[in-house]
A and B are shown apart, each in its own frame.
Chain A
């Protein structure tokens, strides 16, 4: 880890450098769009319009953001203990399974307000369970958590195909999907909530899960900075030696942190399964787990930063979808490229711009001294 000296003000460290990194990632993305033969500025306009130009667009943006908040929090939580959880994809997938199991079993018997907490618990339990083996192997056997969590992504994908084809599929159907849940078990959409207030907004997949995501962000913030467990977790992440000195059981902390991380990723399944699809189906995670990495790195592992980065990525996904519609030469996978570039610039190259910024500040402060 690079040592941070205090030659630049805090605002520059927290805001300026991330923005420079983001800008560099976007500049490279623009270059790619240009090379593909489209006008990057035009593309940017289309994306912004697609993401924020209509209430429907905003709805989609926030719906995507909901997923990213959950997976981003998952990655950030693990990062605080210096663990790199790349398994958000699989944990979210299995989390969705947890939601579906609860709802398919109980939607005919229970009211929504009982189903909701049960579904949340199901998502978290299943997500945590999917993180448990890599967590154990990291803490007690020293296996590389990056590879094991990736492997669990692949295993999850195969497991879900198996379950959908053999267990959840409707008799006689050819599509690997479960039955649609009873309507009582659907997460209320934002437009229906607004409708009860007499305000009409256009349809979008945005649903109550967004609010849940914000509440969970708050809880995560409290956990990390306002509980003794968060304290222990951060101690282990910053300095295992100091944590040992403080009498902290580092292995147990690794275990617990990864379980929470898996549970958070699992919650993305609530948004997708309970909020949008209303049935269990294949591939509903669609890379959100990986986006969580970019979101966490950009948001500096802080819930507020993660919410902001998630909305940015939501806009990127929504705008990207619109873009590929208007510019058919640009496929929607362009957003993955941008996402990867953001991980590269705000993760691996996070401190590349630092020396320049420092130099600028040194020159700047000299000048102001002369002036004074």
Chain B
């Protein structure tokens, strides 16, 4: 019994850690798509953020400056995406794909130029990373059975960015549904004409939405490289931006459900890590490659709509043009 609880707690704690970058990216996706801009470039922004954070942290020794660099990088990429898809009304998917490819190459090129290592940044010491923190009172209650263990092992002991991820869900919810900006943002993703005729600039609104997305993916990228890991590694985002998009769709473009679908992906990954080398009766050992592919397969299954159809914001993906 004791062993089982520990086991479950460690899987759940891993779930939280693995979900964190997905949550940041999914919230970014919600801001962007709720305003009517499809953002495939979440992937590239995560990766660019990871690289920027790791580089800056390696250079200055400060995790916080790393975070700042990642956020600025995310915002710059958002501006490029906006320039192509909002100002010039280009194809949003093509623009996103372009950004992803550019980032995938540029991170390696710059890493080579700055650190003379192929596809990697120097390994960081723990002072220049976001390290796990203990929440207050852990010592006091950790001896209490069950509750104490949950508090000390599951809730406490993550790094700061994990808590910020949860805060970002609350923040997204609050902005979208409780503020004037959120009302307008949701409106522009549904019916930009209604917003235009109400005397609000469609473009400015959309720019602001994707800039927030840039900030969030910047934090997500920071988490990947200098919290979850200790350096940047080539293509380390590994499709998490796309998975976050799927989680967002599965969460029907709503912050809290999207967070739970991120947990679903995180849990699957945590579970599959646990499954490595485990022999299941009758089936045998599950191949590690299947375990690694599981999130991608799950993404396809979820998108196939086998679990209920998702309705996107009506104007999602359509550049706003006043037509005759």
Report A's interface with B, CB cutoff 8 A.
Answer: 2, 32, 36-37, 84, 86, 133-134, 137, 141-144, 146-148, 150-152, 154-155, 158-159, 161-162, 165-166, 290, 293-294, 297, 328-331, 333-341, 343-344, 347-352
Contacts and interface: CB of A to CB of B under 8 A. Distances in A.
A339 B111 CA distance: 18
23 contacts: A36-B110, A134-B300, A141-B305, A143-B300, A146-B93, A151-B296, A151-B303, A162-B289, A297-B94, A328-B112, A331-B109, A331-B118, A333-B104, A334-B105, A336-B108, A338-B105, A340-B100, A340-B102, A348-B85, A348-B94, A349-B84, A349-B88, A350-B90
B117 to A, nearest CB: 10
Contacts of B246: 147, 151
Nearest to A133: B300
Contacts of B88: 348-349, 351-352
A329 B110 CA distance: 9
A143 to B, nearest CB: 4
Given A37-B113, A330-B113, A86 B287 contact: no
A293 B97 contact: yes
A137 B90 contact: no
B60 interface: no
Given A146-B40, A166-B287, A340 B299 contact: no
B290 interface: yes
Interface string B109-125: 11111001011000000
Contacts of A152: 296, 300
B91 interface: yes
B293 A84 contact: no
B215 to A, nearest CB: 22
B5 interface: no
Given A143-B303, A147-B299, A347-B91, A162 B287 contact: yes
B98 A343 contact: yes
B141 interface: no
A161 B293 CA distance: 11
A143 B305 contact: yes
B91 A36 contact: no
B95 A347 contact: yes
Contact of B102 (A154, A166, A337): A337
Contacts of B109: 32, 36, 330-331, 333-334, 337
Contacts of B100: 340
Nearest to B90: A348
Contacts of A147: 40, 242, 245-246, 299, 303
A150 B239 contact: yes
B296 A155 contact: yes
A348 B95 contact: yes
A348 B287 contact: no
A336 B287 CA distance: 32
B99 interface: yes
Instruction: Indicate the member of A161, A348, A350 with the most B CB atoms within 10 Å.
Output: A348
A344 B105 contact: no
B89 interface: yes
B143 interface: no
A36 B88 CA distance: 29
Contacts of B239: 150-151, 154
Contacts of B296: 151-152, 154-155, 158
Nearest to B118: A331
A372 to B, nearest CB: 35
B126 interface: no
B243 to A, nearest CB: 8
A142 B309 CA distance: 10
B160 interface: no
Nearest to B287: A162
A137 B101 contact: no
Question: Chain B CB within 10 Å — which of A86, A137, A331 has the most?
Answer: A331
B84 A337 contact: no
Question: Which of B89, B98, B102 has most A Cβ within 10 Å?
Answer: B98
Given A32-B109, A143-B304, A151-B242, A340 B99 contact: yes
B179 interface: no
Given A137-B303, A162-B290, A343-B101, A330 B112 contact: yes
Given A344-B84, A347-B95, A161 B289 contact: yes
A154 B293 contact: yes
Contacts of B102: 336-337, 340-341, 344
Nearest to B291: A158
Contacts of B292: 158
A13 to B, nearest CB: 17
A32 B109 CA distance: 9
Contacts of A293: 97, 101
B106 interface: yes
Contacts of A86: 97
Contacts of B147: none
A335 B104 CA distance: 11
A297 B93 CA distance: 13
Contacts of B289: 158-159, 161-162, 165
Nearest to B94: A347
Among B92, B103, B287, B303, chain A packs the most CB atoms within 10 A around the CB of: B303
Contacts of B94: 84, 297, 343, 347-348
